[in-house]
Amino acid sequence: MYKIAVAGTGYVGLVAGVCFAEVGHQVTCVDIDEVKVELMKSGKAPIHETGLEELMQKNYASGRLDYTIDFKSAYKDADAIFIGVGTPEQPDGSANLSYIATVARQIAESVEKDCLVVVKSTVPVGTNDKVEQFIQDFLVNDVRVEVASNPEFLAQGSAVHDTLHAERIIIGTESEWAEQVLKGIYDPFNLPIVSVNRRSAEMIKYASNDFLALKISYMNDIANLCELVGADIQDVAKGMSFDSRIGGKFLNAGIGYGGSCFPKDTKALENLAKQNNYELKTVKAAIDVNQDQKTKLYKKASKRLITFSGLKVAVLGLTFKPGTDDLREAASLENVPLLLEQGADIYAYDPIGAENFARVHPEGKNGKGTITYVSNIDHALDGANVCFIFTEWGEVKAVTPETYKKSMRTPLVYDGRNIYNVEEMLQAGVEYYSIGRKPITREVLMEAKTLELH
Ligand code: NAD
């Protein structure tokens, strides 16, 4: 059993802390946000993650898990301090390391015994070296502090499962001692461990995330070409997926990736390359394709409708993906302001993301348009002139093609997640545009009707 402190209780820090407690370590989670700390002490999770609250309550009750804003008491006698604070994007694309630097300084001023500082946040290659130097510079007591890298690979929406059943644990260390401490901490998880040096560990995280972003952008690029040449991206993806060299995951075309990681991690790696006088052409292409992809359907709809002014627009899904209430870099955040700017009367549905979205766009008048948050999809679709699908929530997938035809004033659907079968939408009489597949235009619908009459 190790005595562990975790700095930052976001998706990474809190889930790591809870899972460390679950496997038997003594854990204190530290955050600067007092409200959040009080909420966690009351057994509530500040983020939406399956299974998280149950484990928080169980381990808090057993005394293995605690929360505090008092970093000094948490850090002073910890065997290991994990850093899981944010590394957000700066205007030039580089990672903002100020939160990491603050924690490093707090650690240097607090530790009273030898300890391993573990950077879990995603940081540019070389940051661990800087953190170690920084801590040495500010260290108050005569103790040994070493820094190790342990990047996180969880996916939001399945964070607890991904942590307890990770496909691999990457540890980047510069000494036998640091490697042994980290291996000891992860031993109860019984997972494959890949042990490398610190810089390689830092790079593994970016290289992995950016590879996935590239895969998505590649499929979106191919999808756009499919539309032009009459191929179907879903059939193409299916055909590709049987090739084990390619793999079946991350082949879904759509309106681009979002979230707190892919957008910022692609830009950060591109920026790191630039700083080293190298142009990372592949990653740059992934970023460019993604940027264009996000408003692709809006642009198509603009052409079709000329203006959104006074139209009832149903928006289904606001979060960047299902299973989370996180909106960071979500397609909705790009498209909703464009619709509002045009005077749209938006009715937005999201099973858990609406509250967060309302903080950015409060209910009621928003510039030239209005936005209303509804708790059921029928309410959004009833009498709507057009519908946009931004997130593939189960609740949205459950809406039948016939419902669009029956409920909407004009059954016109722009599906950014390729939820529906094109033929079924055609049969139901829905004008339907998706990504990389045959569009069901008004002409196609009319032709189908004529054929039916004959
Ligand atoms: P987050 O923004 O959800 O949480 C960060 C937390 O750190 C906040 O609660 C904040 O109050 C707290 N904090 C800030 N300064 C602090 C300090 N001095 N002491 C203690 N707490 C402090 O962040 P996140 O999404 O968990 O991401 C954290 C890091 O992990 C980032 O580098 C991110 O790129 C990386 N990462 C994120 C994911 C993900 O899916 N979210 C996955 C893998 C890696």
The pairing of strands 80-83 and 65-68 is unpaired
**What is the side-by-side order of every strand in the sheet holding 369-374?**
364-366, 369-374, 345-349, 312-316, 386-389, 412-415, 431-433
The class level of CATH for 296-453 reads alpha beta
Contact by Cβ (8 Å): 364, 340: no
Cβ 122 under 6 angstroms from ligand 1 = yes
CA–centroid distance, residue 168 to ligand 1 (Å): 21
- The pLDDT value recorded for residue 454 is 62
Cβ 163 under 6 angstroms from ligand 1 = no
pLDDT digit string (tens) for 351-393?
Answer: 999 999 999 999 999 999 999 999 999 999 999 999 999 999 9
Q: Which two three-digit tokens encode residue 194?
A: 């890949």
Nearest CA, atom 12, ligand 1: 8
- 387 among known catalytic residues: no
Nearest CA, atom 14, ligand 1: 85
- The pLDDT value recorded for residue 448 is 86
Cβ 216 under 6 angstroms from ligand 1 = no
Closest ligand 1 atom number to CA of residue 33: 11
CA–centroid distance, residue 23 to ligand 1 (Å): 22
Q: How far apart are the C-alpha atoms of 402 and 129, rounded to whole Å?
A: 59
- The pLDDT value recorded for residue 449 is 78
CA–centroid distance, residue 84 to ligand 1 (Å): 5
- Round to the nearest angstrom and report the end-to-end CA distance of the chain: 77
- The pLDDT value recorded for residue 411 is 97
For residue 116, the tally of other CB atoms under 10 A from its CB is: 26
SS3 content of the chain, % helix, strand, coil (to 5): 45, 15, 40
Closest ligand 1 atom number to CA of residue 209: 43
Q: How far apart are the C-alpha atoms of 6 and 85, rounded to whole Å?
A: 9
Q: Print pLDDT tens along the chain (454 aa).
A: 999 999 999 999 999 999 999 999 999 999 999 999 999 999 999 998 999 999 999 999 999 999 999 999 999 999 999 999 999 989 988 889 999 999 999 999 999 999 999 999 999 999 999 999 999 999 999 999 999 999 999 999 899 999 999 999 999 999 999 999 999 999 999 999 999 999 999 999 999 999 999 999 999 999 999 999 999 999 999 999 999 999 999 999 999 999 989 999 999 999 999 999 999 999 999 999 999 999 999 999 999 998 999 999 999 999 999 988 999 999 999 999 999 999 999 999 999 999 999 999 999 999 999 999 999 999 999 999 999 999 999 999 999 999 999 999 999 999 999 999 999 999 999 999 999 999 999 999 998 877 676 6
What CATH architecture does domain 3-196 belong to? Answer: 3-Layer(aba) Sandwich (3.40)
CA–centroid distance, residue 88 to ligand 1 (Å): 9
Each domain of the chain, given as residue ranges in start order, spans 3-196, 205-293, 296-453
For residue 416, the tally of other CB atoms under 10 A from its CB is: 27
* pTM reported for the whole predicted model: 0.92
Cβ 181 under 6 angstroms from ligand 1 = no
Cβ 266 under 6 angstroms from ligand 1 = no
Give the list of residues 6+ apart from residue 174 with CB closer than 8 angstroms, or none.
146, 148, 197, 198
- Report the half-sphere exposure of 223 (CA within 13 A, side-chain side): 30
Cβ 212 under 6 angstroms from ligand 1 = no
CA–centroid distance, residue 121 to ligand 1 (Å): 7
Q: Which of 188, 173, 192 is nearest to 25 (CA)?
A: 188
Q: How far apart are the C-alpha atoms of 414 and 42, rounded to whole Å?
A: 42
Q: Which of 123, 120, 46, 118 is nearest to 87 (CA)?
A: 123
Do the two domains 205-293 and 296-453 of this chain adopt the same fold? no
Cβ 104 under 6 angstroms from ligand 1 = no
Cβ 103 under 6 angstroms from ligand 1 = yes
Cβ 223 under 6 angstroms from ligand 1 = no
Give the list of residues 6+ apart from residue 233 with CB closer than 8 angstroms, or none.
219, 222, 223, 226, 253, 418, 435, 436, 437
Tell me the residue ranges of DSSP E strands in 56-176.
65-68, 80-83, 115-119, 145-149, 169-172
Q: How far apart are the C-alpha atoms of 331 and 352, rounded to whole Å?
A: 16
Q: In b/e form, how buried is each residue of 132-141, taking b as 16+ CB within 10 angstroms?
A: bebbeeeeee
- The pLDDT value recorded for residue 453 is 63
Determine the CATH number of domain 205-293: 1.10.1040.10
CA–centroid distance, residue 385 to ligand 1 (Å): 40
Q: Which two three-digit tokens encode residue 144?
A: 């040994």
Nearest CA, atom 41, ligand 1: 11
Nearest CA, atom 6, ligand 1: 8
Measured CA distances, 46 to 157, 175, 394, 430 (Å): 14, 36, 23, 40
Q: Which two three-digit tokens encode residue 294?
A: 């996000």
Q: Please spell the DSSP secondary structure of 179-218, one letter per residue.
A: HHHHHHHHGGG---EEEE-HHHHHHHHHHHHHHHHHHHHH
Give the list of residues 6+ apart from residue 143 with CB closer than 8 angstroms, or none.
111, 112, 113, 114, 115
Catalytic residue among 19, 29, 261, 387: 261
